[in-house]
């Protein structure tokens, strides 16, 4: 499981897609999401957004 | 029962009607009868790591990565006067290592236990009652703990006959120490151990300045492949006596659950979910009013993982989404989300969001 930044319009709150091992996204979140914060605190970095 | 009428003291109801716990909303547990399952509608949930898994609403399941595996499911196996339970089945057995923990937990919001006065000299006694049914017999364990996980009270209960509903009651003197939140954070965590290692197990029947999830030497459900464990009628009330279960109306129980999780479910006729407008030729934004104000602003949006489960109506026609819905800036009473389609819309165009039978949108504000 990884998180990936989503490309957004300028000024919008950054959101992230959680990509599961099957390659699908079942959840998007803000940086306030507790599980996302735990993942980042564990030393992980979200993948950049695709242009 | 005695009814006394006095010109001095007014009307006094003696015996059971005199109990502080007799009247409605005495139960601090939400969905104690296991009737609500917004996420799965009775489907099996596999618990194979340390994460937030939910079968029945409000009862979180947690396991261990690369070790034992169990499933949780809303079941129709239930004792008299109940229709549902939470069923646990061990699918891959394991002996818990010292710091491993497999458990069911309901974190109770601080607002809902504020009157217990825990952490003060006026701490009230509570009674936890529930009904259990298991393929195993023995002494099982659980605990109550605080938000900071530095105060806990392990307890035990006995199941002496396998595959028979057994009523359990555990009375606990309120904790006069520690910090117990009385806001929208975790007030009390109520744990039911399914296999807890020695580091997270403590002496039953006493408050401890540590985090214990269960009692020392309690029976481990996860250690027996195929073992089953059912629980329902979970009630936590003020006082030293377990009273009859507070069976609330379904709509009330659902609303109580929706403070922590809300899900929209689609149907075959693609019901209209929300009206919005296009912010580009490919993206449409929607704002959706929640039926219940959530505990906190939801920070994640769950969906089915399949873009074509979601459909957009625009300009007299419609199109399936080309990527899955995404969360927008939300609040406790309203949530925002976006649909993305191929470049078919005009900027500012009015649109309607729909979802098919497999589609859903779920927002969580669980503790």
Q: Do B245 and B282 have their domain in common?
A: no
Last residue of a domain, one of B229, B258, B287: B258
Q: What is the per-residue pLDDT across B240-252, written as a single tens digit (0 to 9) for each?
A: 999 999 999 999 9
Residue B356 maps to which CATH number? 2.60.40
A25 to B301: CB separation less than 8 angstroms, yes or no: no
> In a mutagenesis test of the B interface, which of A1, A12, A23, A30 is the best target, namely the one with the most B β-carbons within 10 Å?
A30
Extended strands (E) in B14-151:
45-47, 53-54, 60-62, 69-75, 85-92, 101-109, 126-134, 138-145
Max CA distance (Å), chain B: 79
**Spatial separation of the C-alpha atoms in residues B35 and B85, rounded to whole Å:** 8
Q: Which is nearest to B296 in space by CA: B220, B209, B364?
A: B364
List Cβ neighbours of A18 (8 Å cut-off, separation of 6 or more). A1, A2, A3, A25, A26, A27, A28, A29, A36
The Cβ of residue B61 has, within 10 Å, a number of other Cβ atoms equal to: 23
d(CA B33, CA B257): 12
**Environment class of residue B4 by beta-carbon count within 10 Å: exposed (0-12), middle (13-18) or buried (19+)?**
exposed
Phi, psi of B81 (to 5 degrees): 75, 10
Residue of B40, B281, B305 to mutate, testing the A interface (most A Cβ within 10 Å of its Cβ): B305
Number of structural domains found in chain B? 2
Chain A residues within 8 A of B297 when measuring between CB atoms? 32
The whole domain housing B304 covers: 261-364
Which portions of chain B are predicted below pLDDT 50? Answer: 18
Do residues B325 and B338 lie in contact, with contact meaning Cβ atoms separated by under 8 Å? yes
- One domain, residues B111 and B224: yes
Nearest residue of A to residue B300 by CA position? A29
Residue of A nearest to B364 (CA): A33
Which residues does chain A have with pLDDT short of 70?
9-10
Q: B300, B304, B358: best mutation site toward chain A, by most A Cβ within 10 Å?
A: B300
Q: What is the DSSP string of B323-348?
A: EEEEE-S--SSEEEEEEE-SS---TT
Task: Answer with the one of B208, B232, B258 that is the final residue of a domain.
Answer: B258
Residue B288, H or E segment: strand B283-289
Give the contacts of B90 (CB within 8 A, at least 6 positions apart). Answer: B68, B69, B70, B221, B222, B223, B224, B225, B226, B227, B228
| Interface subset of B 229-248, CB within 8 angstroms of A | none
Residues from chain B that touch A7, judged by Cβ atoms under 8 A, are none
Residue B247 resides in a domain: yes
| CA angle centred on B356, ends B352 and B360, rounded to 5° | 85
Residues B247 and B324 grouped into a single domain: no
| Residues of A with Cβ-Cβ distance to B326 under 8 angstroms | 6, 15, 17, 28
Q: Do A28 and B299 touch (CB under 8 A)?
A: no
Query: Is residue B306 less than 8 Å (CB to CB) from chain A?
Result: yes
* B239 and B327 inside one domain: no
Is residue B151 within 8 Å of residue B123, measured between CB atoms? no
Cβ-in-10-Å burial (0-12, 13-18, 19+) of B287 comes to middle
Q: Do A24 and B306 touch (CB under 8 A)?
A: yes
**Does the residue B5 lie in any domain?**
no
The partner residue sitting opposite A24, judged by closest CB among B300, B305, B329, is B305
Domain endpoint, select from B197, B228, B258? B258
Nearest chain B CA: its distance from A44 CA (Å) = 17
CB nearest to B299's CB, from A9, A24, A30: A30
B175 lies in the same domain as B298: no
B252-269 in b/e form (b: 16+ CB < 10 A) is ebbebbbbbbbbbebeee
pLDDT of residue B268: 84
Clarify whether residues B139 and B222 are in a common domain: yes
Cα–Cα distance between B187 and B192 in angstroms, integer? 17
Asked if B89 contacts B71 with a C-beta cutoff of 8 angstroms, the reply is yes
- Distance (Å, whole) CA B155 – CA B191: 10
CB contacts < 8 A, A to B, total 48
Give the other-Cβ count within 10 Å of B205's Cβ.
Answer: 13
């Amino acid at each position: 499981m990884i998180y990936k930044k989503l490309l957004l319009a300028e000024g919008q709150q950054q959101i992230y897609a959680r990509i599961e091992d099957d390659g699908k996204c079942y959840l998007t979140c803000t940086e306030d999401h507790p599980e996302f914060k735990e993942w980042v605190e564990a030393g992980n970095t979200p993948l950049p957004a695709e242009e | 029962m005695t009814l006394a009428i006095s010109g001095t003291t007014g009307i006094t109801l003696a015996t059971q009607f005199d109990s502080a716990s007799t009247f409605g909303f005495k139960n601090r547990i939400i969905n104690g009868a296991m009737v609500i399952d917004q996420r799965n509608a009775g489907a099996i949930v596999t618990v194979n790591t340390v994460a937030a898994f939910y079968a029945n609403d409000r009862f979180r399941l947690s396991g261990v990565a690369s070790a034992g595996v169990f499933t949780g499911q809303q079941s129709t196996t239930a004792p008299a006067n109940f229709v549902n339970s939470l069923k646990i089945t061990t699918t891959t057995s394991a002996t818990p290592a010292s710091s491993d923990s497999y458990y069911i937990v309901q974190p109770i919001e601080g607002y809902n236990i504020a009157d217990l006065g825990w952490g003060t000299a006026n701490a009230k006694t509570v009674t936890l009652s529930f009904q259990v049914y298991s393929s195993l017999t023995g002494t099982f364990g659980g605990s109550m703990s605080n938000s900071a996980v530095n105060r806990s009270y392990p307890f035990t209960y006995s199941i002496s006959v396998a595959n028979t509903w057994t009523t359990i009651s555990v009375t606990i003197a309120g904790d006069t120490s520690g910090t117990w939140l009385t806001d929208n954070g975790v007030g009390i965590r109520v744990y039911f151990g399914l296999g807890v290692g020695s580091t997270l197990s403590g002496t039953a029947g006493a408050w401890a300045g540590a985090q214990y999830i269960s009692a020392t030497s309690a029976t481990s459900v996860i250690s027996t492949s195929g073992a089953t464990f059912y629980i329902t009628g979970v009630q936590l009330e003020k006082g030293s006596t377990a009273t009859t279960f507070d069976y609330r109306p379904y709509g009330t129980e659902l609303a109580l659950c929706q403070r922590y999780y809300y899900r929209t479910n689609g149907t075959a006729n693609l019901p209209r979910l929300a009206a919005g407008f296009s912010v580009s030729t490919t993206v449409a934004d929607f704002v959706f009013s929640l039926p219940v104000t959530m505990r906190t602003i939801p920070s994640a949006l769950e969906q089915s993982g399949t873009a074509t489960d979601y459909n957009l109506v625009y300009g007299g026609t419609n199109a399936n989404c080309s990527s899955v819905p995404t969360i927008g800036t939300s609040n406790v009473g309203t949530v925002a989300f976006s649909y993305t389609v191929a470049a078919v819309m005009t900027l500012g165009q009015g649109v309607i969001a729909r979802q098919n039978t497999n589609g859903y949108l779920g927002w969580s504000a669980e503790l």
